[in-house]
Amino acid sequence: MKLTIERSALLKSLAHVQSVVERRNTIPILSNVLMEAKDGKLSLTATDMDLTIVDQVEATIVDAGVTTAPAHTFYDIVRKLPDGSEVELTANAETAQMTLKAGRSTFTLQTLPREDFPAAGVADLPQVFGIQAGELKNLIDRTRFAISTEETRYYLNGIYVHATEAEGIPVLRAVATDGHRLARFEMPLPQGAENLPGVIVPRKTVNELRKLIDETNDPIEVSLSETKIMFRFDSTVLSSKLIDGTFPDYQRVIPSGNDKSLVLDCKTFSAAVDRVSTISTEKSRAVKITLDGSALTLSATSAENGSAVEVLEVNYEGTSLDIGFNSRYLLDIAQQIEGDSAEFLMADAASPTIVRDSADTSALYVLMPMRV
């Protein structure tokens, strides 16, 4: 295999695939990126056995061929090369080495045979639909912060995506929860997604996908079965296993009878929560909200740090209420609210609270209170 390629094009493509590769691997070949040069294109593939990314980039191919090279080392070398340099790659299967030349620099990397690299099985993915990049970014951003990181409840380690109806209108709905908070986002159902099975897209897949679609504004083709999902856009294909589990009935968690309504300026509230929570202990991060008339009092106390109090003016309809929340969770939700004001619907100090963006009804958040 022999080819030349522009450094920035190679770097961009390597950046897309190398982050899939785990830093510590018990299987050596999984630390490598598969490189296939033919027909004027260099194809790069990386996998962790659950998630695979394939990226294609144009190159001047002198000799077509295939090899695998250590992903992170290769990426770091290309990243450190001077801007605008031409990179020449030559792989020799007999010596199991790949030589990289750029300007006056020469690097030699050990390669592994392509036969060791996991073969990409062609899966049957019957369900196919398109989604705009902006809509997919929105769907991920509005929900991924609530994904659980607790490995024992593996079925919560992703975003649950399914087709359903909201007030008689077909929607694509995404839900994530970690048991303390829940995020739900819905958008008009894309054409072709009518029979979408309920699937749980894993956290790592969600994070990698979000990074990749940051650079595109083109429509994204989504194809899936009950066990696999694939995203295609530009010159990139990301395919992943889905989480094999049953997502809990999230509708039961969303309260319907919360009668105490609080509307407040989101940026002012976030800044106040951030200030007051400086005092709360690292472990609980608890802040107390006291509502009385149009005054909202935020307070935090800790045996080690002392206490903090801040009063805000709000619109509140309901009887006086003391309720506690984890400040980190409050701030995570507040960050998702793009409008000026947020609406909190509460019942009492022990029941879940609903948070919504006053200007955007597509997202809804549920937050469990804390004892303070």
Give the model's pLDDT for residue 215. 87
- Identify the H or E element spanning 133: helix 133-143
Give the model's pLDDT for residue 272. 97
* Cα separation, 266 vs 339, whole angstroms: 8
| Per-residue pLDDT band at 372 (split at 50, 70, 90) | confident
Give the model's pLDDT for residue 371. 87
Separation in Å, CA 121 to CA 72, 118, 240, 242, 252: 25, 9, 12, 15, 39
As a whole-number percent, the residues of the chain with pLDDT over 90 amount to 91
Report CA dihedral (139, 143, 144, 150) to the nearest 10 degrees: -150
* Cα separation, 311 vs 130, whole angstroms: 47
Mean pLDDT of 53-66: 97
User: 266 with 219, same domain?
Assistant: no
* Cα separation, 269 vs 344, whole angstroms: 12
User: 12 with 104, same domain?
Assistant: yes
pLDDT tens for residues 131-162?
999 999 999 999 999 999 999 999 999 999 99
pLDDT tens for residues 246-285?
999 999 999 999 999 999 999 999 999 999 999 988 788 9
Q: What is the DSSP letter of 369?
A: -
Residue 109 has pLDDT above 90, yes or no: yes
Residue 120 has pLDDT above 90, yes or no: no
Asked if the structure places residue 372 within a domain, the reply is no
Residue 228 has pLDDT above 80, yes or no: yes
Give the model's pLDDT for residue 314. 95
Asked if the structure places residue 122 within a domain, the reply is no
| Per-residue pLDDT band at 348 (split at 50, 70, 90) | very high
pLDDT tens for residues 173-184?
999 999 999 999
Mean pLDDT of 42-69: 97
Range of the domain at 272: 254-367
Give the model's pLDDT for residue 282. 79
Count CA within 13 A, CB hemisphere, residue 361: 4
Domains of the chain: total: 3
User: 185 with 263, same domain?
Assistant: no
Residue 121 has pLDDT above 80, yes or no: no
| Per-residue pLDDT band at 111 (split at 50, 70, 90) | very high
CATH number of the domain within which 276 lies: 3.10.150.10
User: 212 with 318, same domain?
Assistant: no
